[in-house]
Structure 1
Amino acid sequence: MSVFDSSAIEVNTFGFNLPCRQFLISAERTRERKLPMVDEFVLRVLHTVGRISPARLARFFGFEGRDVGIVIAELVDRNLVVFEGDDLALHPAAQELFRTSDASRPRLTSTERLDASVWFDLISKNLVAGRGLRRVRHLIDLRPPEGAAIESSDARSAFTSNFSSFLKLRGDRNVDQWTLYSILDTHPGRFSSAQIHGSERLSLVPDPKLETILPLSEFENRERGRKIQETITSQLRERGSAAPSQAAVTEFSKLTGSTFLRRKLRYDGTVDLSAFLSGDVESSGDWTPFVGSPYIERNRQLIAGLLAVRGGKESTLWWLRPGGLRWGLTEDLSATLELLRSRFRDAQSALTTTLVAPHLTKGVVQHQLLFDRGVHAASGGIALAIEALVIPDLLAAVSVMVHLSPSVVVPIGYATNERSCIRRVWEGLELPAATVAHKPLWSREKQSRADPN
């Protein structure tokens, strides 16, 4: 079944750090609740008639024996009714119970202290959930506009306007019962980030089209969502991908041993994606085609499914990233590395990881926490539009950036677990030789187990 049986498929993902600031707010909130039914109706009668004798009240409700005396005694003890001569009347304090939107129904009001840790994003200055806030180093840091600082007065105003939303974010039940009574104090706290995840989706009908999808439905305020989306779109525009090239297609053909893609290029340099996905790869090996970045969910599962780990042997994953500034700006990258590592742990083995970046590529160290080792390749090596990940003897995946139309660029590639194909990719990349002249950008490799020290 083709991945394009649906109208659009995911080909890349992004993650963003939304800058936030905490405020510690001390407040008072009130809640109205109903009285017991008998008490409520006695008070409603008194509110309507003003005064009434206990005997007439008993006849009105059909009380028998001591029942009316018990009800009246409890209401007197709670300062809700008083005797005026031989008649009953509302206590002055009970009149306050009828100051509601429905003045015919009494409500008890209780007040309680609320000490809240409240977070606001610095772009739209609205509330965000405080759970799990952190800055993820390899995601895109959204930059707040000039003068976007939130003062204590802004926090008080936003908290007042969005009190119900705050209670929902906090997970409170029966939110509608609560009303903000007053704000006692406000103190600014620390800074952190909330994560927003987006993706690029590709559709082919009627013509190839890429659309950036940002799930901003959680931002109930349309103006807020618009501000955040504008910031994301602007900062994505500053981060381009590696440009397709004839040299990259030629390199891809050499690594895979297939000229299929090169022969299927149209006169304008674009690729028929359907033909690529359904075509036969004329090589001696067994290749599985894929479209999109290797780390997106669909391709992650494909690649992990090809991996057959041999127990007791430590292996190294070499991941040659393409050029450009859009690569790996997603938590899908860490999810892919963790999935591959878990396959080795399940087989009582281990996997170390090395990220190889093209010569002079910027923004490499932001992935330092994900890979055990990072290094630049020598200049003049593999084309910038090529991406490859190889675990020698076990797995290889190679992709190349191509034009589907003059304005639509996506990576397409092949993955395999066939040893001869893996060897061809490994020898073609020459990764150890291509990196030996450069000091590692970082290294957390463990000492060899054979090292007596």
Structure 2
Amino acid sequence: MSTDHIQFNRVTFALPVQPFKVTAFISTEERLPAVTEFVLRLLHTCGRVSLAAFRDYFGFSEAEALSVIESLDRQGYVSLSDDELTLGEEMRQRFEASPDDCPWVTKLKKRSDVVPFDLLTFSMLGRAEFAFATENWVKLNPSPDIVGSSVERARRAYRESFGRIERESARSRGEERERSYGVHSIESVEPRKAGFVPLTVSMEVDARNVFSARLPNEFEAGASLELLTEFRERMALSFEAQSCDGDGGLQDFLQIFQLDFLQPYAVGAALNVHKLATDVERGLPAPAGVQPIFGNLCLKKNRDVVLSLVHEARTGHKGLGKHFGSVAWMAPDYEFWGRGEDFRLMVDALRKTVRIGQKGDDLFVFDRAQERQEAAVRGRYAGTGLVELHLVRPDATANTAWRSSVELMLYPGRFAVAVLHMPLEAAPGVRVGVGFISTQSKHLRTVHQMILDAANGNRYAGRWSPNRDGAASRSMTLFEQCPFLAYCDIQVPASTGGSVIDA
């Protein structure tokens, strides 16, 4: 793996697109009928041909020869003077301009195309596949003035993009592009149902701890410069809208979990992000039972570690018995967490793994929602495969605000995960995840307590269906809905962790 740029999150943005059916007349260049072209090429080669020679060569009668010549003369293709036949001036010029010694002629041709344009710059998107976005994606919605003038914008964009449209159309048919002078007139423009193109952006940091967003290669190679610029600007505005004050809670996080081995990377409230990421990738030494992780928990490298631990617990490993239970996953209060394909893959894999060997266990995700904001939060999980979504009320206590930025995961009795999503310097609204996976009892207790602090009592807002509108299920307590969190002791063998301490 290259350490020049290290990935710490992947977010799926939804680029708004809309197909338009455009019916137009285009000016095309076409070959003439075979017999007509043969006559003209004969005259082009010979220069002049007498009427008698023309008649005898083709075996025409006098009347037939005159009829053919009159027809070609009316179209300006030939000229008859003193019983001698020559090419017309326009046709002579066409032969001179032709790259293949064929007399191409211009004709108006009616055609219809269904062309998708993005709704940010109205650039043609070629063969881009688009879908109707879920709320789990971060939508870059177009401005109202663009939506209101979309037909006129599509009309103009069709003219400007016609060369590319023609190439794409010919390629899809397996044919060569038509010889065309462009659009003569546009008869109609019919908008079709709008949709979105999902674009998963890799969020990375370089050796100077500078943030960059890497777009999908295919999109970056095929999109116009105008669209790429606008997309990046809209993406940056989305990040900046989520910027917040505060130091991010790094020192509090390191202290509460006793992560002294990470202190060399902390400079006060700041973090040497790239150095830490590089060392984690190379195998940063850590206390027994602790594995440092860098970046979002949904990244494949981190996902594989979590899945391996769950699988080992449920199948038995290294002499340990099977250990069944559900998984609790507390989302951080961060707009760009869990947005996209990586989260869906994580949910799918975790739900499958956590049901190995015993039915009834599942993945329980907890997220924060203010009163009357539950539907918006619930909607972000639609289409992800999640079943158990539980909402809690945010904690507004100032001295613990950093805790809402901590992502927590607990497999009771086996392992815990804590990841602090802290602000990245000089990148407003962008956060980078740093944390650990641990089998130490003290970490399991602390993570368990933090989940209960955030979700128990009057903060618990019930179980909500990610895929159906409506209120929460009937009023129940946290422990009634999530009984696996009500255990009273840690069932971790002493060999896998340190001493048990109170959180």
TM-score range (shorter-chain normalised) is: 0.7 to 0.9
> Larger deviation: 403-412 or 32-41?
32-41
Residue of structure 2 equivalent to 1:365: 378
Most deviating of 13-22 and 100-109: 100-109
In structure 2, give the amino acid aligned to 1:127: M
**Equivalent residues of 2:257, 2:443 under 8 A apart:** no
CA contact (8 A) 1:368 1:374 kept: no
Residue 193 of structure 1 and its aligned partner are, at CA, apart by: 1.9
Are the structure 2 counterparts of residues 236 and 357 from structure 1 closer, same or farther at C-alpha, using a change threshold of 3 Å? same
Percent same amino acid at aligned positions?
Answer: 20
Give structure 2 stretches of 5+ with no counterpart.
Answer: 316-321, 468-472, 474-503
Q: Deviations over 1:197-228 (max 9, x none)?
A: 32221122xx3222223345245432232223
The Cα shift of 1:52 comes to: 3.2
The alpha-carbon deviation at position 144 of structure 1 amounts to 2.5
Q: How many residues align?
A: 424
Correspondent of 1:8 among 2, 5, 10: 5
Higher helix share: 2
The CA distance in 2 between the partners of 1:422 and 1:55, in whole Å, is 106
Structure 1, 424-433 or 369-378: larger mean CA deviation: 424-433
Amino acid at match of 2:151: S
Which amino acid letter does the alignment assign opposite residue 399 of structure 1? V
1:122 maps onto 2:119 in alignment: yes
Q: Which amino acid aligns with 1:442?
A: W
Give the equivalent residue in structure 2 for 1:354. Answer: 364
Alignment of 1:213-292 (within 5 A): 213-215=214-216, 217-240=220-243, 244-245=248-249, 246-253=251-258, 258-262=259-263, 265-267=266-268, 269-271=270-272, 274=275, 277=280, 278-282=283-287, 284-285=288-289, 287-292=290-295
> Partner of 1:60 in structure 2?
none
- What secondary structure sits across from 1:250 in the alignment? helix
Are residue 386 (structure 1) and residue 389 (structure 2) matched?
Answer: no
Are residues 1:102 and 2:98 paired?
Answer: yes
1:174-193, Cα deviation, whole Å (9 max, x unpaired) = 45325456533222332222
- Secondary structure of the equivalent of 1:227? helix
Q: CA deviation at 1:293?
A: 0.8
Q: Aligned letter for 2:254?
A: V
SS of the residue corresponding to residue 15 of structure 1 reads: strand
Structure 2 residue matching 1:165: 3-state secondary structure: helix
Distance 2:138 2:124 in 1: 21
Q: 1:107-186 alignment to 2 at 5 Å?
A: 107=104, 114-129=111-126, 131-145=129-143, 147-148=145-146, 149-167=148-166, 172=172, 173-174=174-175, 176-177=177-178, 179=180, 180=183, 182-186=185-189
On the 8 A contact 1:243/1:401 being kept in 2, the answer is no
Does the 8 A contact of 1:12 with 1:200 survive in 2?
A: yes
Q: Let me know the Cα RMSD of the aligned residues.
A: 4.8
Partner of 1:374: 390
**Contact kept in structure 2, 1:292 and 1:411, CA below 8 Å:** yes
Counterparts of 2:423 and 2:20, CA distance in 1? 48
